[in-house]
Amino acid sequence: MKKILALAFLLTCYEARTVYSQQFGGYLKSTSPRILNCNPENLETLVVEVTSPITGEKWMDRNLGASQKAISSSDPLAYGDLYQWGRGRDGHQCRDSRTRSGSTSLDHPGHDRFILETTALDDWRNPQNNLLWQGLNGINNPCPAGFRIPTKQEFDNENINTGASAFNSFLKLPYSGWRNNTNGEVSLIAEGTSYGFVWTSTVSGGTSTNDAEAFAYYSTRAYLNPYARARGYSVRCIKN
C-alpha cells in the first residue's frame, strides 16, 4: 500500500511540473528538442489557409502563436509569438519568456530563454547557421506540417506597400511589435510609431551578411530589410 501511495505522489508531482512548465514559458528537459506553444493549454496555432489573390500562394491566416485572425491592426489576440531568426518552438518565442545572455553554438539551445546578444554578430548562434529555416525540412522550421517560413521574394511578390495595406490585405497583418535583442524588452513601437515585423527565411548579403531579411511595416510604408537575427519578430507561414 505504501508503494502505491508513493508512486501516486510521484506521478502527481510530475504532472504538476508539466503544467507549471507549460504555463510559465518553460519545458521539461529531454534528449530531443521540444515543441512548445505559449498558451497554458499548449495548443497548436489553428491552421486556416488563405489564398493570395495576387500570387495564388496559400498562407496561414494568422501569425504563429496568435489565437485568431486579426480583426484590427492593433488586435492583441492576433499578435502571436516573437521568434529569434532560425530558432524552433522551444519556448523562447513566448512574449514573457525569461532571458539569458550569450550566444550558443547549438542549433537547439536546450533551454526556453530568449538569448540576449549584443556583439557585432547580433545572432543567438555563433557560428551562424544559414540553414535553420530553409524550406520545409529546415532544421528548426517552426511551422505546422506542410508549411514553412516564406522567402523574401515571396513576401515581395504580394506587393504590400504600407502598413495599412498590410492589414487590409488577405494576410491581415497586425502591428505586432518586436523584441529587443539587447535587453529582451517587447515593444509595439519602433521609431515612434506602431510597427510590425515578420521574418523571412532569406539571409542577407553584402555588408549585412550577418543579418536576415524581414518584412517591416508601419502606417505609410512597408519594405523588406536586413535585421539582427537575435531580434524577436513575428512568423507567418506559407504552404509548401
**Is the per-residue pLDDT at 132 higher than 60?**
yes
Kindly state whether residue 10 falls inside one of the protein's structural domains.
no
- Give per-residue pLDDT as tens, 59-104: 999 999 999 999 999 999 999 999 999 999 999 999 999 999 999 9
* 64 domain-assigned: yes
The 3-state secondary structure of the chain, one letter per residue: CHHHHHHHHHHHHHHHHHHHHHHCCCCCCCCCCCCCCCCCCCCCCCCCEEECCCCCCEEECCCCCCCCCCCCCCCHHHCCCCEECCCCCCCCCCCCCCEEECCECCCCCCCCCEEECCCCCCCCECCCCCCCCCCCCCCCCCCCCCEECCCHHHHHHCCCCCHHHHHHCCCCCCCCEEECCCCCCEECEECCEECEEEEEEEECCHHHCCCEEEEEEECCEEEEEEECCCCEEECCCEEC
Q: How many domains does the chain have?
A: 1
From residue 200, alpha-carbon distances to 5, 8, 82, 83 in Å are 52, 47, 13, 11
Question: Cβ-count burial of 50 within 10 angstroms (0-12 exposed, 13-18 middle, 19+ buried)?
Answer: middle
Q: Which of 25-39, 94-108, 118-132 has the lowest mean pLDDT?
A: 25-39
Query: Mean pLDDT over residues 28-49, rounded?
Result: 78
Residue 175 reports pLDDT greater than 90: yes
Q: Calculate the alpha carbon distances from 102 to 125, 126, 226 in Å.
A: 9, 9, 22
Share the mean pLDDT of the chain.
89
Q: Is omega for the bond preceding 150 within 30 degrees of 0, making it cis?
A: no
Residue 23: inside a domain, yes or no? no
Give the domain range for residue 145.
29-239
User: Is it the case that residue 53 has pLDDT exceeding 50?
Assistant: yes
Burial label, 108 (beta-carbon count in 10 A; 0-12, 13-18, 19+) = middle
Closest Cα to residue 129, out of 238, 121, 97?
121
- Establish if 6 belongs to a structural domain: no
Q: pLDDT tens digit string along 219-231?
A: 999 999 999 999 9
